[in-house]
Amino acid sequence: MAQEDRSRNDGHYVDGLRHRLRQPEFSQGDRMRDIIDAIEDSDLPKAVLAEVPGLGNLKVVIGEENRMSNLHPFSMVICQYGLPGGGIGSISALGPTRMEYPRMIAGVKFVSSLMSEMLPRVAG
């Protein structure tokens, strides 16, 4: 698994983009283009990875706390999952600054804990 991690350390998966683009924050075409550009140029995954907290910890980045100016209208909830010593990844959720933080935090924590539980089974 460690060798696979090293060979794919820049990979990322984006889901839920259509839902995000239906939000009022994207009624202006410039904001929509900014977020799509950030995803396609791999700037968004880099911004997320720059904020990843330690294993098992969760971090919330709100509005202008984001390193990228085109992410200032948004918030990120980020949590790292994995096993001490290897097999580590991160889960994040991007949404408007008006997001339901308790719900989003709970969801990201839950998915992160599931991923951490599944890793030993996958690793054997």
Out of 6-10, 57-61, 120-124, give the one with best mean pLDDT. 57-61
Q: In what order do the strands lie in the sheet with 86-96?
A: 58-62, 74-83, 86-96
Rounded to whole angstroms, the Cα distance separating 52 from 58 reads 8
* Confidence (pTM): 0.71
> What letter represents residue 33's amino acid?
R
On whether residue 7 sits in a domain, the answer given is: no
Residues ≥6 apart with Cβ < 8 Å to 97:
62, 63, 73, 74, 75
On whether residue 3 sits in a domain, the answer given is: no
On whether residue 87 sits in a domain, the answer given is: yes
On whether residue 4 sits in a domain, the answer given is: no
Q: Mutual orientation of helices 29-40 and 43-51 as an angle, nearest 10°? A: 80
- The CATH number for 21's domain is 3.30.450.40
Under the banding of pLDDT at 50, 70 and 90, the label for residue 59 is very high
Of 54-63, 64-73, 74-83, 98-107, least confident by mean pLDDT is 64-73
Q: Which domain holds residue 95?
A: 14-123
pLDDT value of position 86:
72
On whether residue 32 sits in a domain, the answer given is: yes
